[in-house]
Amino acid sequence: MAVHTNLLKWLLALSVVITLCLPGNSFAQLTTNQVQDWLHSPAATSHVGNLTGHAPDAQYQYRRYCVGCHGELGDGNGENAMWMEPPLLQKPRNFQLGIFKCRSTPTGTLPTDQDLFDTIGRGMDRSNMPSWNTLSKQERADLVALVKHFSPRFQSEKPGTPIQIPPEPEITDDRIKAGQAVFQKVECWKCHGAQGMANGPSASTLTDDLGRTIAPFNFTDGSRPKCGTTDQDLYRIFMTGLDGTPMPSFSDNIKPEEAWDLVFYLRSLMSQPSVEKQMAKKMGLKPVNPSSGP
């Protein structure tokens, strides 16, 4: 009887220990040890122009600038993350997943070092990720290496090959109209709305890959696109997609010439002054009619 009692006690104690440990094990995808091991791996370097970044050199700056949101393990669970509520503010990026919105590479692939470098320098509009362009280029290159070392994907995968962006053609009335037709055809309006006001029929239903509410981009409220404001950036956004969000890549649906047409039309929707906006106004271009179908 005493043996059984002791055995029961041990089993009880064991079950308590296992129960206590389970939440921690299932929550943390990577351990401190794993992350530490990868700090000196080949993937924990970056190459941006003639700069080479090293993850260990960025630890101090990461602690100073980044850890409050992105967390010690780069899992996006810094102490401030709980105060960021989608859709008003997106949660910090979980670097461990290796999924990034702003890329020059095809959807589903890893970004280049330059992509990550540009994101750190540009910041993410409508989020608490500011532009870190006050840091030196070397410091940013080091941070790129540190960001990469958090994800197992960078340990085993290479970045995708950047998409080719043909030279920007001349802006014409016809091209803006053609862009509107593309906007209609690929049903951008379903999320972004017929006038680009982020009020399409699907807008309120959108969630990101982690199930968090997410809002489509409003072209009309003066916001800047998250992944850059140049025409090339706009082209890149819808040809590579914003991975992790409902914004897909349209590279299989839109030809390069059509992509430029779409860029011109999107410019005409944006509140910022532009040639395209003036031309569309002069033409009397009306918003797309969702009921007319693609």
Q: Which residues bind other proteins (CB under 8 A)?
A: 57, 60-61, 63-65, 67-69, 79-84, 88-89, 123-139, 222-224
Query: Closest separation between CB of residue 263 and other proteins, Å?
Result: 21
Query: Closest separation between CB of residue 86 and other proteins, Å?
Result: 13
Signed CA dihedral, 289, 235, 260, 279: sign only: positive
Query: Closest separation between CB of residue 129 and other proteins, Å?
Result: 8
Neighbours of 230 (CB within 10 A): 11
Residue 8 main-chain phi, psi, to 5 deg: -60, -40
Query: Closest separation between CB of residue 89 and other proteins, Å?
Result: 7
Of 58 and 247, nearer to other proteins (C-beta) is: 58
DSSP strand E in the chain: where?
45-48, 51-54
C-alpha distances in Å from residue 150, one per residue of 31, 93, 121: 10, 12, 19
Of 66 and 163, nearer to other proteins (C-beta) is: 66
Instruction: Say whether 80 sits in a helix, a strand or coil.
Output: coil
135 token code pair: 């840091």
Neighbours of 265 (CB within 10 A): 25
Of 6 and 131, nearer to other proteins (C-beta) is: 131
Query: Closest separation between CB of residue 94 and other proteins, Å?
Result: 15
- Contact 29/75 with Cβ under 8 angstroms? yes
How is the chain split among helix, strand and coil, in percent rounded to 5? 50, 5, 50
Of 78 and 159, nearer to other proteins (C-beta) is: 78
Of 39 and 186, nearer to other proteins (C-beta) is: 39
